[in-house]
Amino acid sequence: MTDSAVATTPATTPASLGEPALGPLDGRYRRSVAPLTEHLSEAALNRRRIHVEVEWLVFLGTHDAVPGVRRLTDGEIAFLRELPLRFDADAVTELGEIERVTVHDVKAVEYWIKRRLEGTSLADVAELTHLFATSEDINNLSYALMVRDAVGEVWLPAATGLVDDVARMARELRDLPMLSRTHGQPATPTTLGKELAVLAHRLRRQLKRIAAAEYLGKFNGATGTYAAHRAAVPTTDWPAVSEEFVTGLGLTWNPLTTQIESHDWQAELYADVSRFGRVLHNLCTDVWTYISLGYFAQVRGQGTVGSSTMPHKVNPIRFENAEANLEVSGGLFRVLEETLTTSRLQRDLTDSSMQRNIGVAFGHSLLAIENAQRGLAGLDAAPAALAADLDGNWEVLGEAVQSVMRVHGLPEPYERLKELTRGRKVDQAKLREFVAGLGLPEGEAARLSLMTPGDYTGDASALVDVLDAD
């Protein structure tokens, strides 16, 4: 018996902000995550169950898997395939009423379909509904289709749009020098664009993994042995039939399972989505820090209230909101990943409850993506602030000077620069005086004397072009 969960609102009906809601995704943030309800809500799950049951009935009526089953007409097939499309608010209510009697969600779907076949030309094949299928044959395919479409049609386009925005910012800021801060301390300069490019490149790598995810399905009976199939129709090649049906739904066939599909593909996908979230969390914390350093000005959206008491403030709330939601989604994805890969013996019901949280995990992830994207859209770089920071840290050129000294064989280059720069502020004049007394070849000394912290960015600008190959 699966746990009973009755859908009370159709996926297409958004809740208003004033409507009571236990969680923020169904209340405050409903509008932001509404596209996911078309795929990952309880109503969407039941709609997919109807879809899978109908497609199996169509399959039986168009193939020779079960001898003696008559061929369905084109009109009958069209009628059947309309059933999930007509799963509206009234249908949700009716299905809930059936489930209160069956106390079994998939059996309720079976009975709901059979009601639609009464009094039609399909009445004679009504008992083929759910033939040879255990609940998990229906559920695993339904979840695979739901998650596939939620990722492909909602989450992945949103995540890709965000990463494209980061890449665009990286290109626009590729040449803007910035003081690096390794361990939070002034370090070899870079460019703001290059650092954003690093994050865009990391995020795109995860998106490629997510886009290439496999969505597995099985259709092999109560313990994965085709036992009922063989008992009823021993002459049919049931593994071949199962493979054809599953792949016909657009999924990858899993040929060897217990009662449940093993959910390993889900664990793999959720690990990748969670890792994308951790990289995005890194972007949010870095950008938040750049804002606090004055490298970015939050200049757009000035009609908003930054602080209830301090008029001058514009708080980086979008990035803070994104961080929090990424932590929630990452925690849920990790729990899903860890839990779904274990099922006691041939089946237990932990996965039934856990999988109902897939939408919550993706919802918080989608909300984080939206907030990060909106936060980035409100930023302008502040070149003067970056330049002032560089000009206040001439000691970072110590690395360049000691490297040139090493190349030209001068004694104790590292130690001499450490003595000059460690724990001390070095200005342009002092550094030039040091360089002039080194005895370097004239051309090298002149080149070092002209170098500024803003010049010392190596190939940072050119490295942004790596994004063009992503």
Domain spans, the chain: 24-128, 135-383, 392-460
Residues in the chain: 470
d(CA 14, CA 376): 27
Cβ-in-10-Å burial (0-12, 13-18, 19+) of 423 comes to exposed
At 309 the pLDDT is: 60
241 confidence band (pLDDT: 50, 70, 90): very high
Q: What amino acid is encoded at 68 in this protein? A: G
d(CA 304, CA 310): 13
Q: What amino acid is encoded at 211 in this protein? A: A
pLDDT, tens digit (0-9, with 9 covering 90-100), for 8-47: 333 334 444 455 778 999 899 999 999 999 999 999 999 9
Evaluated on CA atoms 207, 211, 212, 217, the torsion sign reads: positive
d(CA 104, CA 275): 36
pTM of the model: 0.90
At 470 the pLDDT is: 85
Three-state DSSP class for residue 189: strand
At 16 the pLDDT is: 41
Query: Domain 135-383 adopts which CATH fold?
Result: Fumarase C; Chain A, domain 2 (1.20.200)
Largest CA distance in the chain: 102
Q: What amino acid is encoded at 154 in this protein? A: V
d(CA 335, CA 179): 39
At 14 the pLDDT is: 41
- Of 120, 131, 13, 20, give the one whose Cα is nearest residue 69: 131
In the chain, % of residues over pLDDT 70: 93
Three-state DSSP class for residue 297: strand
Cβ-in-10-Å burial (0-12, 13-18, 19+) of 277 comes to buried
Q: What's the mean pLDDT in 369-376? A: 97
Name 217's bridge partners.
253
CA 132 vs CA 56, 122, 231, 254, 390: distances in Å: 10, 19, 10, 17, 71
d(CA 142, CA 251): 11
Backbone phi, psi, residue 297, to 5°: -110, 135
At 311 the pLDDT is: 57
CA 23 vs CA 28, 273, 309, 332: distances in Å: 8, 22, 29, 14
At 312 the pLDDT is: 61
At 140 the pLDDT is: 98
Superfamily per CATH, domain 24-128: Fumarase/aspartase (N-terminal domain) (1.10.275.10)
At 380 the pLDDT is: 95
The torsion region of residue 6 among left (phi > 0), alpha (psi -120 to 50) and beta comes to beta
pLDDT, tens digit (0-9, with 9 covering 90-100), for 90-147: 999 999 999 999 999 999 999 999 999 999 999 999 999 999 999 999 999 999 999 9
pLDDT, tens digit (0-9, with 9 covering 90-100), for 283-335: 999 999 999 999 999 976 545 655 556 556 678 999 999 999 999 999 999 99
User: Any idea which residues carry the catalytic annotation?
Assistant: 183, 307
We find that the CATH architecture of domain 392-460 is: Orthogonal Bundle (1.10)
Which residue's structure tokens are 């009601």? Answer: 115
pLDDT, tens digit (0-9, with 9 covering 90-100), for 405-426: 999 999 998 999 888 888 888 8
* Pick from 1-15, 71-85, 134-148, 246-260: least confident: 1-15
Backbone phi, psi, residue 288, to 5°: -55, -45
d(CA 8, CA 255): 36
Pairing state of beta strands 379-381 and 296-298?
antiparallel
CA angle 83, 244, 222 (to 5 degrees): 75
